[in-house]
Structure 1
Amino acid sequence: MKLLVTENYETLSQITADIVLMRWAENRRVNLALTAGSSPKRAYEILAERLNQVFFDQSLAHFYNFDEITLKDQEYGLTMQALTEELFNPLGIVEENIEVLDAGNYQDYDRQIAEDGGLDLVLMGIGGDGHFCGNMPEFTSFDYGVYRVPIKPGDELYKLIDESSPHTPGEEMVTFGAQTVLAAKKLVLIANGEKKAEIIKQALEGPITEDVPASILRLHPNLTVILDQEAASKLK
């Protein structure tokens, strides 16, 4: 594991954008699974700025959403809506290069990734409960590839989605499991802010346990963790 502690969120974002660009610049098909959310927001802004300044062959980059939460009466789920707004539209990614994961194809998705040459980079955040992708402590297993989790009104997952989206949650979530993520060539985990300091300590210095799902990422031979000083403040 390579640990990078940056002075601030801006530097974290610059390094994250550079890592994505270095993969993109390899002059071959590159398969990327990049997270949505607040942590990578600035990195994607930097990425869009740099892609406007330097030529990159857009056709070489293919994007895989590593989880999806269905929403009632919506064509796309929560993750695809966020990625479209935060990443795909600003970068001008064409539809043909977006390999959608959803409730209809999740059972074949591991096979599709393998046939496409495997994932070159997975960029993830970490939840306050230690989850990565959609691997929540209450239902994850380190033995899973891509899998489905039912969503029921009143359960914790339903409440979480209902609070974070203007749309009504659907009936299921699909997500990369640990086995799918660990099969990727390179993993990057990013976190910023003091609110992530305690779970980062547990994930990086505590036991590897399904109670803190992100702890399994330490077993990957090519994992880079990028933190600002606040997120790293409780590490030894």
Structure 2
Amino acid sequence: MKIIIEKNFEAMSETTKNILLGHMSQDKRVNLSITAGNTPVEVYKKMVEIVKDSPNYANVHYYNFDEIPVENQAEGVTITDLRKLYLTPANINEENIHPLTVENYADQDKRLAMDGGLDAMLIGLGGDGHFCGNMPTTTSFENLTYKIKVSGEEPWFVPDMMETGLEFVTMGPVSVMRVKHLILIVNGEKKAEMVKNVLQGPVTEEYPASVLQLHPNLTVILDEEAASKLDR
């Protein structure tokens, strides 16, 4: 595990952008899975300035690692957010976008293997210790890509759009551990305690992201606030 601690959100975003572009600049097909949400917003702004309409990055293919369907909407929450944050502003060719959905999730691991596997995955950390859609008490460290049904009794925060009975899909711990390079980004003091738990505590399904400690090529990028409770 390599931990990089930057002064602030801007600096950690710049570092993350540089690492991703390093992967994307290779002279071969590059398979990249990226996260939605607030943490990577500045990363994507920086990347759009470089990637948009550039033939140098036509080799990069994009995959989402989880998805929440929305009734009467063509695409789910994750890919919709990724389009808004990065894929559309960067003018990514539709042929290079490979959505994971509740319809095709059972084929995700086979599809990735046939495509050569994921070269890198950018992920965030939930305040409850989840990563991707791997939630406390609902995941097993033995899961490949799988489907979860919302019961209404979850011990973790359930967003309003995830009504009881809703099914969503995520790449499981086994699938994620197959990625060649994992990049975990976390910012803010409110996640400092969980950062310590998942990086320096025991590997436990209570905090699903703790399994990332076992990955042979994990890079963690934090701002000083998120790193404030780590044992240095």
- TM-score, with structure 2 as normaliser: 0.94
Deviation digits for residues 175-227 of structure 1 (CA, Å, limit 9, x no counterpart): 00001110010000000000110000000110000001111011111100000
Counterpart in the other structure of 2:40 = 40
Query: The residue matched to 1:214 in structure 2 has which SS?
Result: helix
* Mapped contact 1:25–1:56 kept (Cα < 8 A): no
Amino-acid identity (%)? 47
- Closer, same or farther in 2 for the Cα pair 1:41/1:169, shift >3 Å? farther
* Mapped contact 1:10–1:42 kept (Cα < 8 A): yes
Cα deviation, residue 72, structure 1: 1.1
- Mapped partners of 1:86, 1:156: distance in 2: 29
- Mapped partners of 2:180, 2:30: distance in 1: 11
Counterpart in the other structure of 1:19 = 19
- Mapped partners of 2:195, 2:50: distance in 1: 30
Deviation digits for residues 38-65 of structure 1 (CA, Å, limit 9, x no counterpart): 110000001111225x944343111110
* Mapped contact 1:72–1:169 kept (Cα < 8 A): no
- Closer, same or farther in 2 for the Cα pair 1:207/1:29, shift >3 Å? same
Q: Which deviates more, 167-176 or 11-20?
A: 167-176
Structure 2 regions of 5+ residues with no counterpart? none
Matches within 5 A, 1:148-163: 148-152=147-151, 154-156=152-154, 160-162=158-160
Pairs aligned (count): 231
- Closer, same or farther in 2 for the Cα pair 1:168/1:4, shift >3 Å? same
Amino acid paired to 1:112? R
Is 1:206–2:201 an aligned residue pair?
yes
Deviation digits for residues 128-179 of structure 1 (CA, Å, limit 9, x no counterpart): 0000000001201000010000134x444997221xx5x9787211000001
- Mapped partners of 1:173, 1:81: distance in 2: 15
Amino acid paired to 1:25? S
Counterpart in the other structure of 1:82 = 81
Counterpart in the other structure of 2:129 = 130
Query: Could you say which structure has the higher helix fraction?
Result: 1
Deviation digits for residues 82-120 of structure 1 (CA, Å, limit 9, x no counterpart): 111011111111211111100111111100000000000
Counterpart in the other structure of 2:229 = 234
- Mapped partners of 1:189, 1:159: distance in 2: 21
Query: The residue matched to 1:57 in structure 2 has which SS?
Result: helix
Structure 1 regions of 5+ residues with no counterpart? none
- Closer, same or farther in 2 for the Cα pair 1:127/1:158, shift >3 Å? closer
Counterpart in the other structure of 2:168 = 173
- Mapped partners of 1:155, 1:81: distance in 2: 27
Query: The residue matched to 2:69 in structure 1 has which SS?
Result: strand
Is 1:104–2:99 an aligned residue pair?
no
- Closer, same or farther in 2 for the Cα pair 1:79/1:146, shift >3 Å? same
* Mapped contact 1:118–1:184 kept (Cα < 8 A): yes
- TM-score, with structure 1 as normaliser: 0.93
- Closer, same or farther in 2 for the Cα pair 1:185/1:48, shift >3 Å? same
